[in-house]
Structure 1
Amino acid sequence: MVIGSGRSQLRATIVMLAMAALVLAGAVQVLARTTIAEAAAGGFVAASPVEDEGADCSVTLPGSLPADSKLPDPFTKLDGTRITTKSDWRCRRAEIKELAERYVYGEKPAKPASVTGTVSNNNITVNVSHNGRSASFSAGVQLPSGTGPFPAVIVLGGFGADTNTIRSSGAAVINYDPLAVGKEGTGRSNKQGAFYSIYGATSSTGLLAAWAWGASRIIDVIEQSGGNVLKADAVGVTGCSRYGKGAFAAGAFDQRIALTMPIESGSAGVPIFRGIPGESGAQPLSSAYEEQPWLGDAFGSFTGNPNTLPVDTHEVVAMIAPRGLFIMENPHIDWLAARSGSVAALAGAEVYKALGAGGNITYWSDIQDGSHCADRPEWQAPLQANIQKFLLKTGDASGTFRISSSKAGNLAQWRDWQTPALSDEPTTPPTTPPTTPPTTPPAGNCSASVSINQWTGGFVATVRVTAGSSPVNGWTVTVPLPSGAGITNTWNADRSGNTGTIQFTNVSFNGSIAPGQSTEFGFQGTGSGTGMTPTCSAG
Structure 2
Amino acid sequence: MRGSRIRSAVVLAAVTLLALAGVVTMASGAAAAVEDDGADCPVSVPASWPATAKLPDPFKRIDGTRVTNRSDWRCRREEIKKLAERTVYGTKPAKPAGVAGTVSATGITVTVTENGRSASFSAGVELPSGTGPFPAVFVVGGFGADTATIKASGAAVITYDPLAVGKEGTPRNNKQGAFYSIYGATSGTGLLAAWAWGVSRLIDVVEQSGGRFLKADALGVTGCSRYGKSAFAIGALDQRIALTMPIESGTAGVPILRGIPGESGSQPLGNAYGEQPWFGDAFSAYTGNPAALPVDTHELVAMVAPRGLFVMENPHIDWLGARSGSVAALAGAEVYKALGAGGNISYWSDVQDGTHCASRPEWRTPLQQNIQKFLLKTGSAAGTFRISGKKAGNLAEWRDWTTPVLTDGPDTTTPTTPTTPPPTGTCTASVSVNQWTGGSAAITGWTVTAVLPAGAAVTSAWNTGRSGDTGTGTTATCV
Q: Is residue 133 from structure 1 mapped to residue 117 from structure 2 by the alignment?
A: yes
Residue of structure 2 in register with 1:78 after alignment: 62
What does residue 452 of structure 2 align with?
A: none
Distance 1:116 1:84 in 2: 41
- Structure 1 residues 425 and 407: alpha-carbon distance in aligned structure 2, compared to 1, 3 A threshold: closer
- Closer, same or farther: CA 481–67 of 1 in aligned 2, 3 Å: farther
- TM-aligned CA deviation for residue 60 of structure 1: 1.0
Structure 2 residue 236 is matched with structure 1 residue 269: no
Describe how 1:237-386 pairs up with structure 2 within 5 A.
237-386=221-370
Summarize the Cα distance change of 1:206–1:43 in structure 2 as closer, same or farther, 3 Å threshold. Answer: same
1:174 to partner: Cα distance = 0.2
| Cα deviation, residue 37, structure 1 | 4.2
Superimposed CA distance per residue, residues 59-113 of structure 1 (whole angstroms, 9 cap, x where no aligned partner) = 1112323221000000010000001110100000000000000000000000001
User: Is 1:454 aligned to residue 421 of structure 2?
Assistant: yes
In structure 2, relative to structure 1, the CA distance for the partners of 1:286 and 1:463 (3 Å cut) is farther
Q: Deviations over 1:422-462 (max 9, x none)?
A: 02269xxxxxxxxxxxxxx9xxxxx9999986377899999
TM-score, normalised to structure 2, is 0.82
Match of 2:220 among 236, 246, 249: 236
CA distance in 2, matches of 1:252, 1:452: 23
1:293 alignment partner AA: P
Deviation at 1:159, TM superposition (A): 2.1
Contact 1:106–1:206 (CA under 8 A) maintained in structure 2: yes
- Whole-angstrom CA distance in 2 between matches of 1:100 and 1:88: 19
Q: Which of the residues 161, 176, 193 maps onto 1:177?
A: 161
Quote how far apart the aligned CAs of 1:175 are.
0.3
Name the structure 2 match of 1:157.
Answer: 141
Task: Work out the CA distance in 2 between the residues paired with 1:462 and 1:373.
Answer: 39
The aligned residue for residue 507 of structure 1 is: none
Query: How far, CA to CA, are the matches of 1:290 and 1:450 in structure 2?
Result: 35
C-alpha displacement of 1:371? 0.3
Matched, 1:423 2:407: yes
Q: Secondary structure at the match of 2:350?
A: coil
In 1, the alpha carbon distance for the partners of 2:426 and 2:304 equals 25
Distance 2:403 2:44 in 1: 24
User: Is the CA contact 1:45–1:323 (under 8 Å) kept in the aligned structure 2?
Assistant: no
Q: Residues 406, 481 of structure 1: CA spacing in aligned structure 2 closer, same or farther, 3 A cutoff? A: farther
Q: 1:221 aligns to what?
A: 205
What's the Cα RMSD here?
3.0
- Alignment partners' CA distance in 1, 2:395 and 2:280: 27
Is contact 2:106–2:126 with CA below 8 Å preserved after alignment? Answer: yes
Structure 1 residues 408 and 322, CA gap change in structure 2 (3 angstroms): same
Structure 2 CA distance for partners of 1:449 and 1:330, relative to 1, 3 Å: closer
Provide the rounded CA distance (Å) in 1 between the counterparts of 2:276 and 2:139.
20
- Segments of 4+ moved more than 3 angstroms: 36-42, 44-48, 447-453, 455-464, 477-482
Contact 2:403–2:415 (8 Å) recurs in 1: no
Q: Return the alpha-carbon distance in structure 2 between the equivalents of residues 192 and 460 of structure 1.
A: 57
Q: Per the alignment, in what secondary structure is the counterpart of residue 382 of structure 1?
A: helix
Over 3 Å counting, the alpha-carbon distance change for 1:141 and 1:480 in structure 2 is same
Cα pair distance change 1:334/1:423, threshold 3 Å: same
Shift of 1:277: 0.2
Instruction: Give yes or no for contact 2:330–2:417 (8 Å, CA) kept in 1.
Output: no
Determine the C-alpha separation between the residues in 2 that align with 1:49 and 1:201: 31
Structure 1 position 42, deviation (Å): 3.5
Provide closer, same or farther for how the CA distance between residues 458 and 81 of structure 1 changes in structure 2, counting only shifts above 3 A. farther
Q: Which secondary structure does the structure 2 equivalent of 1:454 belong to?
A: coil
CA positional deviation for 1:160? 3.9
Amino acid at match of 1:230: L
Instruction: After superposition, give the CA deviation of every residue in 1:290-345 in whole Å (9 maximum; x if it has no partner).
Output: 00000000000000000000000000000000000000000000000000000000
The answer to whether residue 184 in structure 2 is matched with residue 200 in structure 1 is: yes
Equivalent-residue separation in structure 1 for 2:123 and 2:292 (angstroms): 39
- Which structure 2 residues correspond to residues 495-534 of structure 1 after superposition, within 5 A? none
> Counterpart in 2 of 1:92?
76
What is the letter of the counterpart of residue 254 of structure 2?
V
Paired residue secondary structure (2:330): helix
Q: Which structure has more helix as a fraction of its residues?
A: 1
1:133 to partner: Cα distance: 0.3
Gaps of 5+ in 2: 1-11, 17-24, 432-438, 445-476
- How far residue 190 of structure 1 moved from its aligned partner, in angstroms, is 0.4
Count of residues in Structure 1 that have an aligned counterpart in Structure 2:
419
- Are the equivalent residues in 2 in contact too, given 1:53–1:90 (CA < 8 A)? yes
**Aligned residues of 1:47 and 1:255 also touching (Cα < 8 A):** no
Distance 1:252 1:451, change over 3 A: closer
Distance change >3 Å, CA 69–CA 449, structure 1 → 2: closer
Query: Hey, what's the Cα distance between the residues in 2 that align with 1:458 and 1:280?
Result: 38
1:51 maps to 35
Cα 1:315–1:462 shift into 2, 3 Å: farther
- Is the counterpart of residue 148 in structure 1 residue 132 in structure 2? yes
Contact 1:452 1:461 in 2 (8 A): no
Q: How far off its partner does 1:49 sit?
A: 2.9
**Deviation of 1:121 (Å):** 0.3
Segments of 5+ residues of structure 1 without an aligned counterpart are 1-35, 427-440, 442-446, 465-476, 483-529, 533-539
TM-score of the pair, normalised by structure 1: 0.73
Q: Give the percent of matched residue pairs that are identical in Structure 1 and Structure 2.
A: 73
SS in 1 for 2:236: helix
1:46–1:258: 8 Å Cα contact kept in structure 2? no
Give the corresponding residue for 2:94.
110
The structure whose RCO (Cα within 8 Å, separation 6+) is larger is 2
Q: Provide Cα deviations, 1:16-61, integer angstroms capped at 9, x if missing partner.
A: xxxxxxxxxxxxxxxxxxxx94698742664743100000000111
Q: Which amino acid aligns with 2:352?
A: Q
Secondary structure of the corresponding residue to residue 196 of structure 1:
helix
Aligned to 2:7: none
Distance in 2 (alpha carbons) for counterparts of 1:120 and 1:374: 30
CA separation in 2, counterparts of 1:196 and 1:339? 35
Contact 1:47 1:233 in 2 (8 A): no
- Matched residue type, 1:281: G
Contact 1:45 1:390 in 2 (8 A): no
